[in-house]
Amino acid sequence: MTIYVPNVGEKEMLKEILLSEAIVLGLYKNQVLPDGNTTIDTLQEMPTGGGRAYAQKPLSNAVVEDGSLVADKWRVTTDAYGKAEGQYSNAAVEWTFNETDAGDQNTVYGFFGYSWVLPFTNGAKEIKVGDTVKGATSGATGIVTEVNVQSGSWAGGDAAGALNIMTKTGTWQNGENILLSGEVGTINNTPTAGGTGYAVGDLLEITPAGGGSGALAIVTGVSAGAVTSLHLATGGRGYATGSGLATTALTGAGSGCTVEITALASAAYAVTNTGATGDAHRKLKFVEPLSEGYLIDTAGQKITYVPKITLSTAA
């Protein structure tokens, strides 16, 4: 069966891919003829660390349609052949090598791009796009760009599948609990300052200067407009424990109430299922070889690259 995808459909397909999978760019130093059997382990990446300037280049998953190229975003258009095309940013990605890189005497043979995937099982609390997840044991983190539930359900406590993540930090471990980073677990039900103008039932968001959003508390007691007691309703994300934290009234006219976050949440949303590799998996997205190898033997040498992805289904 042949399926025809119209041009506008191609653009939407490519947009969805770029929004859901944040790509990380790298350079490889072995001669590879890419084909359908090429994997991330096939490629030997240029060495990092130890004073070297070379490092991978993470790209954002932000997208604009048509118009001018914008810094750090993908622009999705239709090219002259009717194919959906995505080009990244209004400036090329650039690597500048230093003396340590040059001392390695490596030859760059091409570019590669991959995205991070974190398999999970035992999903009991729904994880959503935009959440920052954290490994309870490892402390590794990542921002969720797509949630793929392949079996089970959150309601049933047995959801299993994979999370696409970006801006990964640390090294995930197999079988560790996945938490929502900075979710408030408990607050002191007595405020650190009662403020003025409140009424029972007012809804407050905890808004500390240090960051965090979405943690909501309900006023359960007042005296002459000052809050005397409150109850945590939702835990939000991005918080740290602390006292005297500001709140913003979402309902009512009160102001000045401050609270204490006594603990962050520790209940697992799911459990990692990364297998023998331990860490989140790298999903190879593309390999683009250079027409000929480029020897890095002098400090100050540069390589530039314009990330561009084109779908190939249009006639």
Return d(Cα 195, Cα 202) in angstroms, integer.
13
What would you measure as the largest C-alpha separation in the chain, in angstroms? 78
304: left (phi over 0), alpha (psi -120 to 50) or beta: beta
Q: Which of 98, 22, 116 is nearest to 63 (CA)?
A: 22
pLDDT value of residue 108: 98
Could you read off the pLDDT of 207-257 as tens digits, one per residue?
999 889 999 999 999 999 999 999 999 999 999 999 999 999 999 999 999
pLDDT value of residue 179: 96
Which fold, 184-262?
A: Thrombin, subunit H (2.40.10)
Return d(Cα 23, Cα 19) in angstroms, integer.
10
Structure tokens at 87: 């080009």
What is the reported pTM? 0.84
Could you tell me the CA-to-CA distances from 229 to 217, 221, 312 in Å, in that order? Answer: 10, 5, 61
pLDDT value of residue 225: 97
Tens-digit pLDDT string for the chain (315 aa): 555 555 667 889 899 999 999 999 999 999 998 888 899 999 999 999 999 999 999 999 999 988 899 999 999 998 888 889 999 999 999 999 999 999 999 999 999 999 999 999 999 999 999 999 999 999 999 999 999 999 999 999 999 999 999 999 999 999 999 999 999 999 999 999 999 999 999 999 999 998 899 999 999 999 999 999 999 999 999 999 999 999 999 999 999 999 999 999 999 999 999 998 889 999 999 999 999 999 999 999 999 999 999 887 645
The per-residue b/e assignment along 69-80, b for 16 or more CB within 10 angstroms, e otherwise, is: eeeebbbbbbee
pLDDT value of residue 313: 61
Contacts of 148 (CB under 8 A, 6+ apart): 161, 162, 163, 164
Could you read off the pLDDT of 266-288 as tens digits, one per residue?
999 999 999 988 899 999 999 99
pLDDT value of residue 10: 85
pLDDT value of residue 278: 86
Could you tell me the CA-to-CA distances from 24 to 48, 62, 219, 246 in Å, in that order? Answer: 15, 14, 45, 37
pLDDT value of residue 79: 83
pLDDT value of residue 7: 66
pLDDT value of residue 73: 96
pLDDT value of residue 183: 96
Tokens 């599948």 belong to which residue? 161
Domain segments of the chain as ranges: 7-114+284-310, 115-182+268-277, 184-262
Contacts of 147 (CB under 8 A, 6+ apart): 127, 128, 129, 161, 163, 164
